[in-house]
Amino acid sequence: MALPACAARALGPPLQPERRAPARTTCPRRHSRVEAELAASRPGSVAASVLAGPPRGVSRGFNSQPLLDEPPKASSSLAGAARTSLFALLPRSRRRRMHDLRRRWDLGSLCRALLTRGLAALGHSLKHVLGAIFSKIFGPLASVGNMDEKSNKLLLALVMLFLFAVIVLQYVCPGTECQLLRLQAFSSPMPDPYRSEDESSARFVPRYNFSRGDLLRKVDFDIKGDDLIVFLHIQKTGGTTFGRHLVRNIQLEQPCECRVGQKKCTCHRPGKRETWLFSRFSTGWSCGLHADWTELTSCVPAVVDGKRDARLRPSRNFHYITILRDPVSRYLSEWRHVQRGATWKASLHVCDGRPPTSEELPSCYTGDDWSGCPLKEFMDCPYNLANNRQVRMLSDLTLVGCYNLSVMPEKQRNKVLLESAKSNLKHMAFFGLTEFQRKTQYLFEKTFNMNFISPFTQYNTTRASSVEINEEIQKRIEGLNFLDMELYSYAKDLFLQRYQFMRQKEHQEARQKRQEQRKFLKGRFLQTHFQSQGQSQNPSQNPSQNPNLNANQNVTQNLIQNLTQHSSQNSSHKENRESQKQSAGQEQSDGNTSNGTNDYIGSVEKWR
């Protein structure tokens, strides 16, 4: 019920409920100090409760006791009003920031407390686990319940050392590859980097007998002189990759200059404007597209020396090199290449001064190219130059009348071509195999004494390997390339024998070098030993008069005297033993001993 107006004026304004200060949350100590200073600056304020310490619930530091919820103390209405007026004096943004700081302070304290208790529990569990392990290993020396303070410190030190080693290892080698490599290095010896790329057995059983001259291929290539390397590039044998290695991957005094976007590079001799390499990527197809042995041997001297008279040409050494490939893989790769529309119409096929006629070398297709050709049609063409291409390009075609098939019977022609290709391949300065890239690199480096910058890469996945053929088609391809099959078997045997011979020669030279070093160190040791002995025997000698000469003479004389005396004693003792035993075998051993003594004296004289 509403009161009359006169009654309301008599009673005065209505009583307002007492407004207490809002419940305080935790806040940083510096904010409590700001509040206390502001409250103390006003007369009649009650700031003792604020200056007494941090508000309830706030920890006094990281090393203080855990957070406890203290019971709220009774405060008077005057203290509540003072705190309310003090908090109201602050700006609104400051009040909001203080509220956020209070919540963060509580969360951080809680996290620190949980982390501390968690670490303590983890350390306690680790202590018991390690104690159990030590008790199992050492028996009565350690137990879970009787671990004293020293054992605890030792375990902690070991654990910290292990963690530090793990951190350092992860920093030095973040991946897992080097850890596996180190484990393999400890578990097994380092593999041979030149092992067989086709994962065949390391032992090779030769089929052909070659002389030492055929196996030892070491060319005295003078890059500063007039020598020339001629690369015979057979189609689809990996010659493009090897040709790029020759112009971009060899350590030279004057490297080849290769510009971006250009296939040809400038490979000049040091100090001359003359090339040392005749290949696709240095001189281009100067003798025709994929020129064969017959074309190169008659064309290269004329191209290099120009129109100069033959009597005025320098005495050059032409070092021919090439790359061979498995005939089946090469044939399939050429078929895929032709199927994509590639042709070699620009090839000249010059033999005996003229190119072949259309009757001597008919074409297998009528259009501009043979794109989309199926494999059966590719194999059915009798004039396909892909058949036995490697034998044809490595043989001397002038021996069989070039491309005229009516000069001699087919059987005799094939035999002459095969023998000519084998002879030319054997007398080449170098040849490599596509299936053995690392061995090819090794033999080239040993033959020409030229090192590559980066190692060759073996690509086992090619376009030819993606073609799936049955056994019948494979046998037909082998039949169409029967000359190439025999040439490749011969070349592979010769290649692997050369590789084994060069490796054995390298090991022998390294062993001989180590023996010479040991002999040299032994001679130096003997020289210093007898020199010190001679100085001790002749202390009154004047060192100012040729000290080096006198020292060397003393060393030599003492050494010869000692060895001669020792040999004479041995000889007299052995003569007596010979007279008693009278055996011919003892005479032979005495002669060997005396000869060994004389050789030893001579070696010491040499090292002196």
At what angle are helices 29-40 and 77-89 packed, to 10 degrees? Answer: 110
CA distances for 550 relative to 342, 538, 541, 547, angstroms: 83, 11, 9, 5
User: How many Å apart are CA 346 and CA 369, to the nearest integer?
Assistant: 12
449 and 221 in contact (C-beta within 8 Å)?
yes
User: How many Å apart are CA 275 and CA 254, to the nearest integer?
Assistant: 11
User: How many Å apart are CA 166 and CA 158, to the nearest integer?
Assistant: 12
| Catalytic annotation, residues | 290
User: How many Å apart are CA 450 and CA 219, to the nearest integer?
Assistant: 11
User: How many Å apart are CA 201 and CA 502, to the nearest integer?
Assistant: 19
3-state secondary structure of 521: helix
Amino acid found at 57: G
541 and 550 in contact (C-beta within 8 Å)?
yes
Q: Six-digit token pair at 76?
A: 């008077």
User: How many Å apart are CA 452 and CA 446, to the nearest integer?
Assistant: 11
Q: Which residues pair with 432 in a beta bridge?
A: 323
3-state secondary structure of 29: helix
Alpha-carbon Rg for the chain, nearest whole angstrom, is 47
Question: Which residue, 547, 523, 551, 522, is CA-closest to 537?
Answer: 551
- In 331-475, the DSSP E strands lie at 430-433
3-state secondary structure of 265: strand
Question: Which residue, 428, 495, 434, is CA-closest to 204?
Answer: 495
Q: Which residues pair with 351 in a beta bridge?
A: 354
Q: Which residues pair with 228 in a beta bridge?
A: 318
Per-residue buried b or exposed e for 524-545, using 16+ beta carbons within 10 Å of the residue's own CB: eebbeebbeebbeeeeeeeeee
User: How many Å apart are CA 500 and CA 494, to the nearest integer?
Assistant: 10
User: How many Å apart are CA 118 and CA 412, to the nearest integer?
Assistant: 92
User: How many Å apart are CA 32 and CA 55, to the nearest integer?
Assistant: 8
- In 380-535, the DSSP E strands lie at 430-433
Q: Six-digit token pair at 224?
A: 């500063």
